[in-house]
Structures are given as C-alpha cells and as structure tokens.
Amino acid sequence: MRGIRILGALAAIAAAGSAEAQQKASLDKPTAEYAESFTTISSIRELPSGKVLVADRSDKIVQLVDLLAGSAIKVGREGSGPGEYALPIALVPLPDGTTLVLDPLNRRFLSVSADGKPGAFMDLPRPPSNGPGGPVMMIGGFDVRGVDAKGRIYFQAAPFGPNGTTLDSVAILRWDRSNADMDTVAYVKLPAGSASATSSGGNMRVMIGGGKRFTPAEAWGVAGDGRVARVLPEPYRVVWVAGPSRMAAGPVVPYTPMKVTEADKQEFIEAQKKNRPMMITMGGPGGGGGGRVATGGGGNIQVPPPEFADTKPPFVAGPGGGGTVLVAPEGEVWVLRTRPAGDKIPTYDVFDATGKLAKKVSLKPNSRVAGFGKGVVYVVRTDDDDLQYLQRFARP
C-alpha cells in the first residue's frame, strides 16, 4: 500500500507539472492602443519614459509614440545626411536608453537619445574581406537579431560563401561595439534554397527566403544575460547557448506535423501578394558602394512560383527571424506556432529561461507580437484594409 501511495503521489506531481506547463492565457483587452495606423511596423522599442519608438519600413519613418497621450512625433527623416535614414528596418535598444536605428542602405546606425532626439552615426561592423564568406559577409550586418544587457549586438551572418555560393549553416556573431572585431557564439542550420546571390555589372543582388515553404528551419533570439535561445523544429525544443560548446537543452515538446493542404498553399500565395520579398542591391566591387532596396511588387524582380513541403513544422522561421521567435530581456522565449489554413487566432508557446514550456498565449485575430517592455507586451493588430495598429498589453 505504501508503494501504491508513493506512486500515486508521483503521478499527481507529474500531472500538476503537466498542467502547469499547459497554462493558457489570452491577450484580449489592451491597456492602450495608438489610434493612428502604420503601413509596416518593422520594429519597436519601449523607452525608459514608457514612450515607444516605432519603425515603419514601408513608409521609411521612425516615430516616438506616447500611447497614454495618444500622440506621436516624427524622429529624424528620410535621407543620407545628419539625423536621417534611408531605410529604418530595426531598432536596437542600448542599456543607457539610447536606440540605434539600423539603416542598411546607408550602411550605418543612427543613434536616437532616450528622449527621441537623433544623434551621431555608427558604421556597421565590417568583417575582414578575407574572412569566412568574403566581401558578401557584409550583408550579414543587416540581420540584427538582438542585444544584451551589456549593449553587445547579435547578428546572423550572411548565408553566402566567398563566391556567392549558399551555405548550409551560418554563424551567430556578437559585436561589443568597442572595436571592429566580432566573435562567433554558435552556428545555426539553414534549409536548402533559403537564399540566393547573383552578381552582374559590379552589382551584387541578394534575396533571402527562397526554398520550399514550410521547410523546418531553426530560429533564435537573445536574452539580456547574453545567452542565445536556439529554437529547433526537429525535435521541437529550446536550446540555450552561452558560448561555443556551452549549451543547455530544454525538454522536447511533442508535435505531430500537420499536412500541408491546398487551402494552406492558397493562403500562402495570397499572403505573398501582400508581403512581397525585399531585395537589397549593393553596388561596387564586392557589393560595396551604396545600395537600393526593392520589393517583388516593383522594379523587375521576378518571384518564382512557390514550392511546398508535405507537412508543416511547429513554427515557420521567416527571413530575418520574421517575428516567429522573440526573446524578452528576462529570458522568456515566445514562439509563434503554425496553424491550419483559415485559423486566424495566433498562438504563442512561451518557454522560460530554462527552456521549459511555461504557457500558451493566444491573441486576437490578425495580430502578432512585436516586442516587450517593462511588464508589458506590444502587439501589432492588422485591420481589414491591411493597416497596422500598435497595442500594449500587460504581460501574462
């Protein structure tokens, strides 16, 4: 009897642990929403004041939004001179409240103070031309994935070899900003056909995001303590990386792949018409000498018909991270789960700082998580006209 009681107690503990892992929450009612719309919110950063910097990639604008007052002011302007940016695609939060606006066309960062004032420029790091990947490695400087509490910036290296050949794995690079050197934290695998590069007339043209749709691919992000969260699709789990050969894997999360249906394919094709891929063309020897950006909806960019895998992985890692995996400074890892065609309710698996699945969080239809602040989560809501709105919720 005593043995039976012990087994019963262990079963109860296991059931409680399982229930805790499956805690569910929903973001139903925002604490604030900015009434004016955006076209494409590419990045947000909550400032120490509680105001929020918002970068709109399509409109090429950065705004300082006060959600409580319902007001916003423009920060800097489009261009190549002082206080200007050509393409603000990411906001990098530094520990002192400064924000770096990543501007790949001008190949630099524009600093913005904690009160929203444009400041000095900082050049993108330039890996040595004789290093891995050669001159095209510079493209990796565009793929900023995070920053830690020491202000070190993390990049995903370019997926290209010395002659423009594509690689099957790339480095996660860390830059401390005090010098031009970058160190390698880890490597991530790439699916076949996920990138291409062509060179013609002294120009280098790069496209990220090819290959079969729904092919399993890794994604990653950075916590405030500098650990990198690698999210693996097969098996589905989070692996925390503190440096080369310093890894701690969380428990495997069971997943049964969903079959890719004709409805899934059509839904993807319709979404692709609205969200055309971005292509950056760099001129000059080795891809230097300035650049321009274009999308599949303009210029002479031809997008081939998509091919599809047979099944869906637990998550789909888009180019540049695609917002699929977001890591809060405290170490929570939010992973956007795949779902059947027609299901408009986004659901995120939230892993804790040990890699254990802690809860599942659902959003309202046509929404996505954009980032985090002090005790809050920021969400982008898209309406029927494809206009985007910034919301703030208490973090569950």
Which residues are 311's β-sheet partners? 259
List phi, psi (to 5°) of 315. Answer: -150, 160
Residue type, 381: R
32: how many CB neighbours lie within 10 A of its CB? 18
Q: pLDDT tens digits for 85-140?
A: 999 999 999 999 999 999 988 989 999 999 999 999 998 886 544 444 444 444 55
pLDDT tens readout for residues 133-180: 444 444 555 789 999 999 999 998 888 776 667 778 888 999 998 877
The predicted-structure confidence for 240-283, as pLDDT tens digits, reads as follows 999 777 899 999 999 999 999 999 999 988 887 766 555 555 55
pTM of the model: 0.85
Give the DSSP H/E element, type plus range, for residue 269: helix 262-274
d(CA 170, CA 160): 9
Bridge-based pairing of strands 333-336 and 347-351 is: antiparallel
Residue 283 to residue 200: CA distance in whole angstroms: 10
Cβ within 8 Å of residue 5, ≥6 positions away: none
Q: Where are the domains of the chain?
A: 134-314
Helix (H, G, I), strand (E, B) or coil at 153: strand
List for the chain the helix, strand, coil content (%; round to 5). Answer: 10, 45, 45
> Residue 270, SS3?
helix
Q: Which residue, 313, 308, 302, is CA-closest to 277?
A: 302
- DSSP symbols for 159-178: SB-TTS-B-SEEEEEEE-SS
